[in-house]
Structure 1
Amino acid sequence: MRAGGLKHRITLQRYEQSQGPLGEPIKCWVDYATIWAEVKGISGRELLATGSLSSEATVRIWIRYRSDVKQGHRVKYLSPAVSGDIYGIEAALPDNDRTSLELLCKGGVANG
């Protein structure tokens, strides 16, 4: 994997459960790594449902291989133009040599 293509900064997040001060369960997204990546848009669409307009984007992200990235985690893309886009990881596909990892992600409608 060429380092020159990894020009975008992303943060990997996973959903964790912890305990609050009163012992109540708290579920939240927790950052576990901020790394360099290559982010490319694949497709996008807009949906009109129940009178509101929503958009959905599909992106492909390449990173150096990591064994801790799983389907169901999410990526926060730290773009300089916006405060950050959130993409849910649909698939994490390693290459044959396990040097890079391709993340197929969706964001927009159901990325919460």
Structure 2
Amino acid sequence: MNPGKLKYRVAFRTQAGTDPVTRLPTEGGETVYTCWSAMEAVSGKEYFAAAAVQAENTVKFTIRYKKDLESSLDLFLLGNEKERKFNIDSILPDYDNKRYMRVMCKEVI
């Protein structure tokens, strides 16, 4: 992959939970990792398989390899506009080269 395609800034954050004392929802989670990524819409066979389940915006992010990421985190697309939140479905590492990872997400609308 061309590293010049990694032009979108993303942040991996822990999910917002509830405060144990007040039992109110917390505003947001803690940022675990921030990096540059490539973003592309899922197309073809992947798109129709995702659309058969529900009508959601499924997006594939490609990032540099990082071994400590978990699918329990949320992904936020950072930029000039407001942040867009994505729920991570799966993280697919490249075990051969350990250069890049694919993060399959669904946008929270």
**Pair in the same fold by TM > 0.5:** yes
Provide the residue aligned with 2:5 in structure 1. 5
Q: Give the secondary structure class of the aligned counterpart of 2:33.
A: strand
Counterpart CA distance in 1 for 2:5 and 2:13 is 22
TM-score of the aligned structures, taking structure 1 as reference length: 0.70
Residues 92-107 of structure 1: pairs in structure 2 closer than 5 A: 92-95=91-94, 96-107=96-107
Counterpart CA distance in 2 for 1:14 and 1:2 is 29
Counterpart CA distance in 1 for 2:71 and 2:59 is 14
8 Å contact kept, 2:87–2:108: no
Deviation at 1:2, TM superposition (A): 2.7
TM-score of the aligned structures, taking structure 2 as reference length: 0.72
Query: Which structure dedicates a bigger proportion of its chain to strand?
Result: 1
Residues 1-112 of structure 1: pairs in structure 2 closer than 5 A: 1-15=1-15, 24=21, 28-42=28-42, 56-80=56-80, 82-95=81-94, 96-108=96-108
Aligned residues: 96
Q: Give the secondary structure class of the aligned counterpart of 1:97.
A: coil
Identity over aligned pairs, percent:
22
Bigger-Rg structure (1/2): 1
Q: Which runs of 4+ in 1 moved over 6 A?
A: none
Give the letter aligned to residue 37 of structure 1. Answer: S
Query: Which structure dedicates a bigger proportion of its chain to helix?
Result: 2
* RMSD of aligned alpha carbons: 2.7
Counterpart CA distance in 2 for 1:83 and 1:17 is 21
List alignment gaps of at least 5 residues for structure 2. none
